[in-house]
A and B are shown apart, each in its own frame.
Chain A
């Protein structure tokens, strides 16, 4: 009796820890996918009191810009969006604004200002500084569609996974057919196969780059 209890606890514990391990890997993958890509700039110095920033960095109210601040994350440093007030002196050309000397950090260094984002952001969001040039909304949509089309290569991995899922479905069907077994054993087997289904779909789904809208609105 003691050994049977230990075996059952061992099986349950192994299943729980395996699930937690899979969830850890999946959450690391999803948190990467949820990061909004941004382009940053420190601006161009005109003189000691004035320097220039792109017009796109100015927020709708005309008084604030978004900057990034480095903070320590789970495994590496990450960038958090913070809001800074600026005083616009004048506008030169269509895409440059000139701001005064009020815009410095406590260390006397100009912060990195966000001038383009792949998705709307708010204060406190964690973002990823991207080296690729982020375009207009239409260009970003086309880029996203291109990313999704490139996932077709990963869909090939779905073939062996589909075979495994069909095998598990067959086992569930066999369990259902064997109704002469004790009911609780049947329920335990079906729960076990359902658990395997969930694990397989979680692992497979984490390899796909799902659109941000799906991840945010689940």
Chain B
């Protein structure tokens, strides 16, 4: 690459970075007061006097963690079953799961609502946990990841007397650690940002997670909205910094499949 090309590339990348970071910088700026009045009033309100915002934060964090952990665990077990046990209809089931994966979330809202209403689970946390934990994306993705692992590893472990759980926990999971972490991150971010499902399945506004609360908050209260937006950034940012190398490895593994 010539020097001129590298200069243009740097300018292009810096411009792209500015475009991506500028909304966050604007949000930080607005959190200290709109229209030039610099004050910590919004921070005082959110962090010290009105506990509703922080309580919603902890609720959202717990909900997202449960969903991410549940989806990762179930997807791992499902993918291992698809890999290890060949029976009639396995490929059909996998194709159906891929089809459901492609469907947009808005299409499944009504059937889920009717089913959850029939089960008397509406207006509880189960309405958010169950559909997201049993989402097909993780199982399908991990199935394709596990197809790259040679069966000889599993057979060798079985010959040494390892049971199914031991093979899964001691052999398979360490080999797919990066994709598992990536799946956890993706499902955490997805559930942290979900808006349509809480609005549809939860009837009381006080049960809404922080992501929905930000949307329905009074638009005149821009400074408080900005502080709550920064609050929303904290868990996702920390998770990314902690797992960014595994995340990159996991995405690279996914592209290596192709």
Is A215's CB within 8 Å of the partner chain B?
yes
Shortest distance from the beta carbon of B123 to any chain A beta carbon, whole Å: 12
Verify B206–A73 contact, CB threshold 8 A.
yes
Is A105's CB within 8 Å of the partner chain B?
no
Across the interface, name the chain A residue whose C-beta is closest to B43.
A23
Query: A9, A13, A27, A73: which contacts B47 (Cβ < 8 A)?
Result: A27
- A residues in contact with B176, CB < 8 Å: none
Is A218's CB within 8 Å of the partner chain B?
yes
Verify A24–B242 contact, CB threshold 8 A.
no
Is B38's CB within 8 Å of the partner chain A?
no
Verify B238–A9 contact, CB threshold 8 A.
yes
- A residues in contact with B241, CB < 8 Å: 5, 9
Verify B51–A74 contact, CB threshold 8 A.
yes
Verify A23–B238 contact, CB threshold 8 A.
no
Q: How far is the CA of A20 from the CA of B233 in the complex (A)?
A: 13
Verify A72–B50 contact, CB threshold 8 A.
no
Across the interface, name the chain A residue whose C-beta is closest to B44.
A218
Verify B204–A72 contact, CB threshold 8 A.
yes
Which chain A residues have a beta carbon within 8 Å of chain B's beta carbons? 2, 5-6, 9-10, 12-13, 16, 20, 23-24, 26-28, 30-31, 34, 72-75, 215, 218
Verify A12–B50 contact, CB threshold 8 A.
no
Return the CB mask of B177-211 against A: 1 if under 8 Å, else 0.
00000000000000000000000000010100000
- Contact residues on B (Cβ < 8 Å of other chain), bracket: 10 to 19
In the complex, 25 of the A-B residue pairs with CB atoms within 8 angstroms, ordered by the A residue number, are A5-B241, A9-B238, A9-B242, A10-B242, A20-B47, A20-B54, A20-B234, A23-B48, A23-B54, A24-B54, A24-B55, A27-B47, A27-B48, A27-B49, A27-B51, A27-B54, A28-B51, A30-B48, A31-B49, A31-B50, A72-B204, A74-B51, A74-B52, A74-B55, A215-B49
Which chain B residues have a beta carbon within 8 Å of chain A's beta carbons? 44, 47-52, 54-55, 57-58, 204, 206, 234, 238, 241-242, 245
Query: B49, B55, B204, B206: which contacts A34 (Cβ < 8 A)?
Result: B49
Chain A interface, >50% SS class = helix
Q: How far is the CA of A161 from the CA of B157 in the complex (A)?
A: 57
- B residues in contact with A74, CB < 8 Å: 51-52, 55, 206
* Given known A24-B51, A31-B50, A215-B49, contact A12–B58 (CB-CB < 8 A): no
Verify A23–B47 contact, CB threshold 8 A.
yes
- A residues in contact with B245, CB < 8 Å: 2
- A residues in contact with B48, CB < 8 Å: 23, 26-27, 30
- B residues in contact with A5, CB < 8 Å: 241
- B residues in contact with A23, CB < 8 Å: 47-48, 54
